[in-house]
């Protein structure tokens, strides 16, 4: 199945969806958002990745920043922080460049590697978009974390790719229904920028800690 452009959802929403389906729905269906220190610092990091020259060359690596991508099969569109093109026999031809070049997406993140796979899924979705647009196969990319100042290589395995397809399909289903999932408490609620909107009564009564603790114990 291919989606029409007017049906495309935001690629960046996949990260929200993987972290918490309710958070994704509050942002992308109900159009609610609140910044906290984490989101502000993360936004600044993305701006720095996009603000520099759109295209530059460092030795045998060609770097494009803020590249717009989309996928009709996933029904998503967005921008890549950075796409490096490495000279590779398995690559593709590029306008005004000699040789063959293989795309290598790099996503910039504020913090450190996480327990869940939200970052990896977002990066893999970028790779699938690039593959469809450029007619090539991208085996891996990288996540750059601001706290550790290191890259983490992400292989785009078949299970990871399948998870991207499954999640984007579920995103479209929920979006078409206009449905916001109910609260499912987790440790991530503490740092969520939407906790005041998601759990307003609990935040006012200052009982969030005990509520989350009980809910997570009941879920075990």
Can you give the residue ranges of every domain in the chain? Answer: 5-182, 183-220
**Ordered DSSP codes for 77-126:** EEEEEEEEEEEEEEEE--TT--S-EEEEEEEEESS---SSSHHHHHHHHH
Higher-pLDDT residue of 135 and 33 is 135
The pTM of this model reads 0.83
Quick check: 106 and 116 in contact, CB under 8 A? no
pLDDT at 169 over 80: yes
pLDDT at 36 over 50: no
What is the reported pLDDT for 40?
Answer: 41
What is the reported pLDDT for 200?
Answer: 58
Q: Could you give the CA distance from residue 101 to residue 103 in angstroms, rounded to a whole number?
A: 7
Highest mean pLDDT range out of 45-54, 112-121, 149-158, 185-194? Answer: 149-158
* CA 157 to mean position of chain CA atoms: 17
> Using one digit for the tens of pLDDT, what is the confidence trace for 86-138?
999 999 999 889 999 999 999 999 888 888 899 999 999 999 999 999 999 99
pLDDT, the chain, mean: 85
Q: Could you give the CA distance from residue 107 to residue 18 in angstroms, rounded to a whole number?
A: 16
Among 119, 193, 109, 121, residue whose Cα is nearest residue 159: 121
Does an H or E element contain 141, and which? strand 140-145
Q: Could you give the CA distance from residue 182 to residue 180 in angstroms, rounded to a whole number?
A: 7
Quick check: 123 and 89 in contact, CB under 8 A? no
Q: What does the pLDDT average to over 53-57?
A: 76
How many other CB atoms are there within 10 angstroms of residue 110's CB atom? 17
How many other CB atoms are there within 10 angstroms of residue 211's CB atom? 16
Q: What does the pLDDT average to over 136-165?
A: 97
Q: Could you give the CA distance from residue 194 to residue 213 in angstroms, rounded to a whole number?
A: 18
Q: Could you give the CA distance from residue 94 to residue 21 in angstroms, rounded to a whole number?
A: 38
Three-class DSSP category at 209: helix
Quick check: 25 and 179 in contact, CB under 8 A? yes
Q: Could you give the CA distance from residue 8 to residue 27 in angstroms, rounded to a whole number?
A: 15
Quick check: 129 and 165 in contact, CB under 8 A? no
For domain 5-182, say whether CATH 3.40.50.300 is its number: no
pLDDT at 52 over 60: no
What is the reported pLDDT for 98?
Answer: 92
């Amino acid at each position: 199945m291919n989606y029409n452009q007017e049906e495309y959802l935001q690629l960046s929403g996949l990260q929200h969806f993987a972290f918490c389906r309710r958070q994704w729905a509050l942002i992308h269906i109900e159009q609610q958002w609140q910044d906290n220190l984490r989101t502000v610092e993360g936004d600044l990091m993305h701006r720095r990745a996009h603000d520099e020259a759109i295209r530059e060359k460092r030795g045998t690596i060609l770097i494009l920043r803020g590249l717009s991508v989309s996928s009709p099969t996933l029904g998503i569109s967005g921008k890549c922080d950075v796409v490096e093109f490495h000279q590779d026999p398995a690559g593709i031809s590029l306008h005004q460049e000699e040789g063959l070049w293989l795309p290598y997406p790099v996503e910039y993140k504020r913090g450190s590697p996480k327990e869940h796979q939200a970052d990896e899924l977002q990066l893999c979705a970028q790779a699938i978009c690039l593959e469809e647009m450029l007619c090539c196969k991208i085996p891996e990319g990288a996540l750059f974390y601001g706290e550790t100042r290191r890259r983490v290589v992400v292989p785009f395995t078949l299970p990871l790719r399948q998870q991207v397809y499954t999640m984007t399909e579920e995103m479209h289903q929920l979006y078409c229904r206009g449905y916001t999932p109910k609260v499912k408490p987790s440790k991530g609620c503490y740092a969520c920028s939407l906790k005041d909107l998601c759990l307003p009564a609990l935040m006012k009564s200052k009982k969030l800690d005990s509520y989350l603790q009980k809910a997570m114990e009941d879920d075990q």
